[in-house]
């Protein structure tokens, strides 16, 4: 689980995270939170997740990421990656 803070809403963070996750073959979801952060649950190999986390720390060009809080969670065996609303 990732909680991304900073200027991460209204800058195509979710849409781009969704594209990157699908390109990497990850499963899970990304969603905006009421506090202005972005929450992500992602499942994949260590290599896939490492690349995704590296991207999450930068985000798309208009984002200003101040922190990425990473927590391990239970495997939920997602079947795809999508944007949740």
Categorize the per-residue pLDDT at 8 as very low, low, confident or very high, splitting at 50, 70 and 90: very high
In a domain? residue 80: no
Give the confidence band of 6 by pLDDT, cuts at 50, 70, 90.
very high
Please indicate, yes or no, if residue 82 is contained in any of the structural domains: no
Q: Is 69 a catalytic residue?
A: no
Per-residue pLDDT, 78:
97
pLDDT digits (tens, 9 = 90+) for 17-71: 999 999 999 999 999 999 999 999 999 999 999 999 999 999 999 999 999 999 9
Residue among 7, 32, 58, 62 flagged as catalytic: 32
List the catalytic residue out of 7, 14, 18, 84. 14
d(CA 13, CA 30): 9
- Number of compact structural domains in the chain: 1
For residue 59, give both structure tokens: 């985000």
Which residues lie closer than 8 Å to 5 by C-beta, 6 or more apart?
36, 37, 65, 66, 67, 68, 69
**The CATH number of the domain where 24 resides is what?**
3.30.70.100
Query: Which residue segment(s) compose the domain that 50 sits in?
Result: 11-75
């Amino acid at each position: 689980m990732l909680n991304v803070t900073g200027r991460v809403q209204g800058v195509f963070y979710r849409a781009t995270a969704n594209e990157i996750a699908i390109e990497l073959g990850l499963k899970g979801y990304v969603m905006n939170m009421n506090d202005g952060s972005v929450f992500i649950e992602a499942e994949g190999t260590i290599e896939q997740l490492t690349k995704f986390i590296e991207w999450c720390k930068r985000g798309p060009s208009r984002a200003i990421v101040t922190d990425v809080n990473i927590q391990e969670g239970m495997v939920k065996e997602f079947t795809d990656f999508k944007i949740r609303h």
